[in-house]
Amino acid sequence: MGTNQGEFMGPTHILIVEDEADQRLFLHEALTHAGFGPLYEAASGSDALKLLSQLAEQQQPLDLILMDIMLPDMDGVEACRRIKQDRRFSDIPVVFVTAQRELSWLNSALDAGGIEYLKKPINPLELAPRINAFLRLKRETDYHRQEEARMAARIAELAELNRELETLSYQDGLTAIPNRRSFDDLLERFCRYAVRDRLPLSLLMIDIDHFKLYNDTYGHLQGDQCLKQVAGILREMARRPGDICARFGGEEFVMALLNTDQMGASQVAELLRQRIESLHLPHAASPVSAWVTVSVGTTTCEYPLSGECLPAELLAAADRALYQAKKHRNKIACVNLQTSVEEGIL
């Protein structure tokens, strides 16, 4: 017995739907010789539907259907349409095998859900590469669907964490966003998610520029209002299930952004800086601007080869970046988590 060109390991389940016995035999032998199998056969569209139901009940997988167009009792186009309407079988690719040359038939076959058609007579030397191409497409499609389902589950998990957060007494009393204790708990979880799902995790540390001068000039009550408005901007920008913001202490705030790389973190930081300055909160004592501004330090934990993403290291790197940004004020600085090297001031 041959092999299926080394493309796939393990069984490849294929259903042949063909009413002519000699054609079924030809396809069966050609596919067997190429190393495909197990193979199933049906001589009509209705037989194919019955066999599919039996396989589904037995939880037997099926990777591909080779379907003749001209079949007794139900043509292949109608059989394909019914297969695609059944959720149990809708993901199975259908390839038509036909001697038809009329475009109307071929277009109807593709409109019914077929992915391609093979013209009779089939060259056995071309069959295995074509089948491998169809199977590769099926496996890639299955993989992407699994990834989408996995990410949907992760997003649901993060959304549940956010709902859980709302029920905890971990809010900052003044700004109504999470406090330091809450943030520390969630950052640990986010670090685990980043390693588990191989996702980048970025951290932003934000400091209101010359806030002591603001309090000295406008008083602590007005200072509290300033903190609330800055917190409101952070809350608006942390809308994804994988985003959290918190008051870190005094006039410092933090944001953690799951599945956000260094470039994305810099873009968020710059937008945050601009939005806070655009509040046009007067700050007459500031040597930087006539308005309240912030400095932002960022760092990113790309998925590490060591499989580590430690909250303490993230916080320390973001703090170093913030220190660099505060040298200039109303700026953004980034520190590379792996090298501790300053990436630049924006």
Q: Is residue 152 part of a domain?
A: no
Sign of CA dihedral 8, 12, 18, 23: positive
pLDDT band of 292, cuts 50, 70, 90: very high
CA–CA gap between residue 101 and residue 220 (Å, rounded): 83
Supply the Cα-derived Rg of the chain in whole angstroms.
Answer: 30
Taking the C-alpha atoms of residue 115 and residue 94, their distance in angstroms, rounded to an integer, is 6
CATH of the domain at 310: 3.30.70.270
Same domain, 319 and 184: yes
Say if CB 234 and CB 255 are below 8 A apart: yes
Q: Which CATH number is 63's domain given?
A: 3.40.50.2300
pLDDT of residue 111: 87
Tell whether 153 is covered by a domain: no
- Shortest CA distance to 283 belongs to which of 241, 242, 331, 226? 226
Model pLDDT, residue 103: 72
- Secondary structure, 3-state, 45-111: HHHHHHHHHHHHHCCCCCCEEEEECCCCCCCHHHHHHHHHHCCCCCCCCEEEEECCCCHHHHHHHHH
Same domain (yes/no): 256, 128: no
65 & 23 share domain: yes
* Helix, coil or strand: residue 280: coil
Decide if 1 is inside a domain: no
User: In terms of Cα–Cα distance, which of 265, 266, 258, 267 is closest to 240?
Assistant: 258
136 lies in the same domain as 176: no
Same domain, 125 and 33: yes
Residue 98: name the closest of 78, 77, 69, 137 by CA. Answer: 69
Two tokens at 50? Answer: 């019955």
Tell me, yes or no, whether 232 and 337 share the same domain.
yes
256 plus 293 within the same structural domain: yes
**pLDDT above 80 (res 13):** yes
Q: What is the domain extent for residue 322?
A: 170-345
Q: Does residue 116 have a pLDDT over 90?
A: no
pLDDT recorded at residue 5: 46
| Residue 161: inside a domain | no
- 112 and 240 both lie in a single domain: no
Q: Could you confirm whether 251 is annotated as catalytic? A: yes
Regarding pTM above 0.95, the answer is no
Cross-strand pairs, 16: 41, 66
> Are 138 and 48 within one domain?
yes
| Same-domain status, 191 and 305 | yes
Across the range 230-243, mean pLDDT stands at 93
> At which of 129, 144, 159 does a domain end?
144
Do 56 and 184 sit in the same domain of this protein? Answer: no
Rounded Cα distance, 82 and 113, in Å: 10
CA 140/CA 132 separation, integer angstroms: 12
In-domain check, residue 326:
yes
**Which is higher by pLDDT, 293 or 117?**
293
Options 251, 302, 313, 342, the catalytic residue: 251
**pLDDT for the residue 2:** 46
Residue 214 domain-assigned (yes or no)? yes
**pLDDT reported for residue 144:** 81
* Residue 130 banded pLDDT, cuts 50, 70, 90: confident
Domain total of the chain: 2
pLDDT tens digits along 205-232:
999 999 999 999 999 999 999 999 999 9
Average pLDDT over residues 199-204: 94
- 235 and 116, same structural domain? no
Taking only the tens place, the pLDDT of each residue in 34-55 is 888 899 999 999 999 999 999 9
Does 7 reside within a domain?
no
What pLDDT, on a 0 to 100 scale, did the predictor assign at position 6?
A: 44
Asked if residue 77 belongs to a domain, the reply is yes
Tokens standing for residue 38: 């197990």
